[in-house]
Structure 1
Amino acid sequence: IFNNQFTSALIDDLKDLKSEQDSIKSKKVNQIREYLIEKTTGIEKEFQNQNSSDAKLRSNIE
């Protein structure tokens, strides 16, 4: 009986650890996703600003 209880408790602990690990992974993935979205948005804005500047230069030259 003791051995069964010990094994059962161990299995429960492992399940808890797995759940905690999954939660941490999920948070990390979300943080990385947010970071990438932020970076790509910044890059898109830079391109838009550059295109706007290029258009102004072209119109000034013409």
Structure 2
Amino acid sequence: MIRRLRFVWRRARRTGRDLDAASYAAGIVGGVIFLAAMTGVLGPTLDAPRHHQAGAERHASR
């Protein structure tokens, strides 16, 4: 994978394309996703009510 990334980077540099904007955008998107995951925006909340499963309790009491 690293070899492929190096190849893409060299080809882009040879053709005159600048990949700085793409790398900045990837960093910003990655940072936003990281912060969203760390702050609890993504995923279940810890204070959510637990679902009651009557069937499971009945089975456990047998």
Which TM-score band (shorter chain)?
0.3 to 0.5
**Which structure has the bigger radius of gyration?**
1
Instruction: Tell me the TM-score normalized by structure 2.
Output: 0.42
Report 1 or 2 for greater relative contact order, CA contacts < 8 Å, sequence distance ≥ 6: 2
